[in-house]
Amino acid sequence: MSDYLEQLMESPSALLDNSFDLNFTLSRAEIDAFQKHWVARRFWELKGRILLLGKLAKEHGIDAISEIDDVLPLLFGHTVYKSYPMSYLERNRFDKLTKWLAGLISIDISHVDASGVTTIDDWMDLLDRETPLMLFNSSGTTGKLSFLPRTRDQAKQLAILTSNMLRDWDGAGSRPDMLKQHRPLINPGYLHGGGTGQRMARIQAELYAGGLENALFLYPEERMSADIQSLAGRIRVAEAKGELGSLEVSPALLERRAAFMERERNRPRAMEVFLNEAISRFGGQDVYIGAIYGLVLDWAEDGLKRGQRNVFGSGSFLASGGGTKGRTFPPDWRERVADFLGFDTFMDTYAMTECIGMAGLCEAGKYHLPVTTVPYLLDPRSGDLLPRRDGTTGRFAFFDLIPETFWAAIISGDKVTMSGWQTSCECGRVGCYVDRNVSRYSAEEGGDDKVLCSGAPEAHNSALDFLMSY
């Protein structure tokens, strides 16, 4: 057994303490042994500490896990983290929302008094102050936000893992270590808020840039409000149903929404000022840029027209996720962006809020999962496990073995094609990998994503009902 595998067997967090490229050197047998051990151990540790998991395990008669597939009936649908009644938000019942959240985590939050809270933002701030939690909220297209119960330590782990992946992607220490060699951080978004981007912004500024004074944000003072995100979704649904007139919204929230919409209308001008400031403050330096490719391409096109080239240092990093977001890019877009920025170290990732272990894109166009992410492919119609056969397409589910405070065994909404069980990627990395053409089942089903869990669905319904009533 290798030294790295021994460390992983002691704790999956050893992933963060070693060179990231070691992930892809373990044999298939070693990966299977590690994942089998920790799937069983995580269940044993958490079944009595997380109310919903314990109830679901009881419904299925599961007391122990001996094989990786034994956990299938216990996978949570990604909608679990928004399984509370919408009335909790509409009627400001944040005391009940707190109790619902308590059933999803191993952390004791019974001391938190949310009875006087009237906004989602204030509720999240309260949990920030009084617990180790750092909730990450979704954008909430229907008005009902998901609340993923991360902790501050887990958010920091995500930032460290990102840095390590950039540092070691082409071999141990093949690129600079941002945790030791700080550089300016450029983020064309909000510094404050509960979304993944905002939650990670301050942590990345501290770890990568050495502090906020060496970071630049498009909106350093404003907050991406969870209340505004929820309201936008509720308005969208009410309009579709022709029920907008019956929607009750407080004047204060409407005023905040108006201010947000005005800010969005002025975004193009604000972005122009922001990008010019990025060049004037940090031009010629090695920087870290976190932004979607479309925005960077627009920036590059405009800069090249002005004769701007090689504006940042050659040791800079650009990290992005989600590819081109459905936009058609010119064939030479990467070359044009690199010509403008002055570097070509772009890291494209496949990631989701529910999973600490993100997957990086290799030169062969494949996203490589770290060993701490146990992958499953499910039949989208039945929810049954699909064969572990290279080239199989199905609904992506996973068990993230790193979190110790919530059950990170999730059925996602993603349609993926996966390989790596029988043969390794042509890039030479060992382990499971996902083809680049990731899509959403909700898009194929007209916006309605019906997540089917393995095993008896009534067991999941019974467990969720119990969570609402305890």
Integer Cα distance of 403 and 355 in angstroms? 9
Q: Is residue 219, in this structure, part of any structural domain at all? A: yes
Q: Is residue 337, in this structure, part of any structural domain at all? A: yes
Percent of the chain with pLDDT over 70: 92
φ, ψ of residue 173 to 5 degrees: the values are: 65, 20
Structure confidence by residue, pLDDT tens digits, 292-319? 888 889 899 988 998 999 999 999 999 9
Domain end call among 323, 344, 365: 344
What are the CA-CA distances from residue 424 to residues 26, 35, 107, 381 (Å)?
Answer: 11, 18, 39, 29
Burial 180-207 (b: 16+ CB within 10 A, else e): eebbbbbbbbbbbbbbbbbbbbbbbbbb
Structure confidence by residue, pLDDT tens digits, 35-73? 999 999 999 999 999 999 999 999 999 999 999 999 999
User: Quick one: 291 and 187 in the same domain?
Assistant: yes
β-bridge mates for residue 435, sequence order? 366
Tokens describing residue 238:
């009410």
Integer Cα distance of 355 and 369 in angstroms? 11
pLDDT, residue 293, reads: 86
> Which residues are within 8 A (CB) of 413 and not within 5 positions of it... i.e. 6 or more apart?
78, 395, 440, 441, 442, 449, 451
Integer Cα distance of 259 and 264 in angstroms? 9
Burial 2-24 (b: 16+ CB within 10 A, else e): eebbebbbeebbbbbebebbbbb
pLDDT band at 103 (very low <50, low <70, confident <90, very high): very high
Structure confidence by residue, pLDDT tens digits, 213-224? 999 999 999 999
273, 274, 276, 280 alpha-carbon torsion, rounded to 10°: 130
Integer Cα distance of 52 and 94 in angstroms? 19
| Number of structural domains the chain divides into | 2
User: Quick one: 205 and 333 in the same domain?
Assistant: yes
pLDDT, residue 248, reads: 75
User: Quick one: 214 and 76 in the same domain?
Assistant: no
- Radius of gyration of the chain, Cα coordinates, nearest whole angstrom: 22
User: Quick one: 327 and 365 in the same domain?
Assistant: no
Burial 331-365 (b: 16+ CB within 10 A, else e): eebeebbbbbbbbebbbbbbbbbbbbbbbbbbeee
User: Quick one: 236 and 324 in the same domain?
Assistant: yes
Q: Count CA atoms within 13 Å of residue 265 on its CB side.
A: 6
Rounded mean pLDDT, 233-244: 77
> Which residues are within 8 A (CB) of 397 and not within 5 positions of it... i.e. 6 or more apart?
75, 375, 376, 377, 378, 409, 410, 411, 412
Structure confidence by residue, pLDDT tens digits, 108-159? 999 999 999 999 999 999 999 999 999 999 877 777 899 999 999 999 999 9
460, 464, 466, 467 alpha-carbon torsion, rounded to 10°: 140
User: Quick one: 193 and 283 in the same domain?
Assistant: yes
Q: Is residue 8, in this structure, part of any structural domain at all? A: yes
Rounded mean pLDDT, 68-92: 93
Does the pLDDT of residue 406 top 60, yes or no?
yes
Amino acid at 344: D
First to last CA, the chain: 46
Q: Is residue 155, in this structure, part of any structural domain at all? A: no
Q: Is residue 370, in this structure, part of any structural domain at all? A: yes
User: Quick one: 293 and 310 in the same domain?
Assistant: yes
User: Quick one: 331 and 461 in the same domain?
Assistant: no
Q: Is residue 133, in this structure, part of any structural domain at all? A: no
Does the pLDDT of residue 322 top 80, yes or no?
no
User: Quick one: 224 and 355 in the same domain?
Assistant: no
Tokens describing residue 359:
């997957």
User: Quick one: 382 and 315 in the same domain?
Assistant: no
Q: Is residue 128, in this structure, part of any structural domain at all? A: no
Domain end call among 344, 378, 398: 344
pLDDT band at 235 (very low <50, low <70, confident <90, very high): confident
**Nearest residue to 289 via CA among 316, 309, 271, 270:** 316
**Nearest residue to 107 via CA among 463, 400, 407:** 407
pLDDT band at 461 (very low <50, low <70, confident <90, very high): confident
Q: Are the C-beta atoms of residues 161 and 357 closer than 8 Å to each other?
A: yes
Integer Cα distance of 460 and 386 in angstroms? 21
Q: Is the dihedral of CA 36, 41, 47, 50 positive or negative?
A: negative
Integer Cα distance of 422 and 419 in angstroms? 8
Structure confidence by residue, pLDDT tens digits, 331-349? 999 999 999 999 999 999 9
State the CB neighbour count (10 A cutoff) for residue 282.
Answer: 22
Rounded mean pLDDT, 427-434: 96
pLDDT, residue 447, reads: 45
User: Quick one: 359 and 378 in the same domain?
Assistant: yes
Domain end call among 297, 324, 344: 344
Q: Is residue 462, in this structure, part of any structural domain at all? A: yes
User: Quick one: 188 and 288 in the same domain?
Assistant: yes
> Which residues are within 8 A (CB) of 286 and not within 5 positions of it... i.e. 6 or more apart?
176, 183, 312, 313, 314, 315, 316
Q: What is the span of the domain harbouring residue 34?
A: 1-110+351-470
| Statement: the pTM of the whole predicted model exceeds 0.85 | yes
